[in-house]
Structure 1
Amino acid sequence: MKKILLVDDEEGIQMLYREELEDEGYEVISAYTGEEGIQKFKEESPDLVILDIQMPGMNGIETLRQMKMENPKLPVILSSAYNEYKQDLGAWASDEYVVKSSNINDLKEAVRKHLS
């Protein structure tokens, strides 16, 4: 079973993404901050990371940098409510950029693409 690390500070997003991704057959590990995400990334060795950008403490761009320095081949999907972060050079290190929505078909498609 493929393992996904979900790093997002919003409880509702965590619940929605977890339910949908577990229904797709993935194991989902949750973290609510960038710092916690880095810790779980090191402990769990996920196959893919879904990462929010705006979080308290370490933001998603800095979390992405640290993860990619340790494992450059790890697929990371940035998921943000804000489309303007696509222009941030730091976001370019991600493998996908998905705008948050209650319809998560784009996210599920991106996950399938990187884990198949």
Structure 2
Amino acid sequence: MKRILVADDEMSIRLLYSEELREEGYEVLTAANGREALEIVEKEPLNLIILDIKMPEMSGIEVLRQIKEKHPNLPVLLSSAYSEYKQDFGTWASEEYLVKSSDLEDLKTAVRKHLKD
């Protein structure tokens, strides 16, 4: 079973993404902030990460940079309510940039694409 980490400071988003992705047949771990996400990345084997950009303590862009330094082949999908971050050079290391929406079809399509399901 493919393992996905969902890192978002909003509990409602973590719950929604977890539920939807579990229904798709994935095992889902969650993190409430960037530091927690990095701890999980170091301890758990993962196949993909969905990472919020605006989080307290450490931005998703900083977390992305640290993940890619140690795990360059681990796919990371950035998820944000703000489309303007797409122009930030720091986001370009991610495999996809998704704007949060109540319709999760784009998210699920991106996950399938990067896990080659």
CA deviations 1:22-51 (Å, max 9, x no partner) are 000000000001000000011112100000
Q: Counterpart amino acid of 1:34? A: G
TM-score, normalization by structure 2: 0.98
Q: Counterparts of 1:81-100 in structure 2 under 5 Å?
A: 81-100=81-100
The two structures have a TM-score, normalised by structure 1, of: 0.99
Report the secondary structure of 2:37's partner residue: helix
Structure 1 stretches (4+) deviating beyond 6 angstroms? none
Unaligned runs of 5+ in 1: none
- Structure 2 runs not aligned, ≥5 long: none
Deviations 1:35-87 (A, max 9, x none): 00000011112100000000000110000000000010110000000000000
Q: Identity across aligned pairs (percent)?
A: 60
Query: In 2, distance between residues paired with 1:104 and 1:84?
Result: 20
What pairs up with 1:10-49 in 2 under 5 angstroms? 10-49=10-49
